[in-house]
């Protein structure tokens, strides 16, 4: 079983697993604070039947969904010896990314594409575990560049003796579409290591070809 190191957790906006009782206390405290927030904005929410329960709804949404990763145990990743000595690409694409930006707390939504090359005497992990890693780091206040690096760092950590790891995240940021410039656009970030950085190797091109194949 792999356990995430403390430095990586701290870099991901902290991570302190909470009991259900502790989560409920946080929800109550956050709901009370959100009432004051809505008052400060001048919203007449108490007289609006659609908004009367909004402070608690928002608090629950953050604790139980949007920022769930901050209050949950890191994903338990079981690895296996590479008994078949497989040394080709392992690729998982179109992994859903649902997160919100640290700057404005507005959602950004997209996909992550993750690949690694297991060493012949290294470790392999189940494909569903890659989804869990992406989900864990997404569900918190985030910056896409950091999210990409965190997924890469954890993959590199759990896939012992790998020959390379590649992560590409593509997302639409509503903080750009709903405010400021008010334009929709797609942001892409990538982090690579090992064979994926070797310009004489075709591994990097194969990774991008796999991503393109998802669209056909």
pLDDT in tens, the chain (216 residues): 444 555 665 556 667 889 999 999 999 999 999 999 999 999 999 999 999 999 999 999 999 999 999 999 888 888 999 999 999 999 999 999 999 999 999 999 999 999 999 999 999 998 899 999 999 999 999 999 999 999 999 999 999 999 999 999 999 999 887 877 777 789 999 999 999 999 888 999 999 999 999 986
| In contact, 81 and 123? CB cutoff 8 Å | yes
Q: Where are the domains of the chain?
A: 18-71, 77-213
Note the pTM of the prediction, 2 decimals: 0.90
d(CA 169, CA 111): 6
SS3 content of the chain, % helix, strand, coil (to 5): 45, 25, 35
d(CA 132, CA 143): 18
Closest CA to 186 of 144, 139, 134: 144
CATH 3.30.1130.10 for domain 77-213: yes
What architecture does CATH give domain 18-71?
A: Orthogonal Bundle (1.10)
């Amino acid at each position: 079983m792999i356990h995430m190191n403390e430095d990586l957790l701290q870099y991901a906006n902290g991570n302190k697993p909470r009991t259900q009782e502790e989560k409920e206390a946080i929800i109550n405290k956050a709901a009370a604070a959100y009432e004051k927030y809505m008052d400060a904005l001048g919203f007449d929410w108490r007289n609006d039947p659609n908004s009367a329960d909004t402070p608690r709804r928002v608090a629950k949404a953050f604790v139980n969904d949007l920022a769930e990763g901050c209050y949950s145990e890191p994903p338990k990743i079981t690895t296996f010896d590479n008994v078949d000595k497989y040394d080709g690409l392992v690729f998982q694409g179109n992994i859903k990314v649902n997160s919100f930006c640290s700057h404005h707390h507005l959602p950004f939504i997209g996909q992550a594409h993750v690949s690694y090359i297991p060493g012949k005497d290294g470790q392999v992990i189940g494909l569903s575990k890659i989804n869990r890693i992406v989900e864990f780091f997404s569900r918190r206040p985030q910056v896409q560049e950091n999210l990409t690096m965190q997924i890469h760092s954890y993959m590199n950590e759990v896939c012992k003796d790998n020959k390379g790891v590649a992560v590409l995240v593509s997302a639409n940021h509503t903080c750009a579409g709903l405010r400021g410039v008010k334009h929709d656009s797609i942001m892409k970030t990538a982090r690579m290591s090992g064979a994926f950085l070797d310009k004489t190797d075709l591994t990097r091109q194969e990774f991008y070809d796999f991503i393109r194949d998802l669209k056909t």
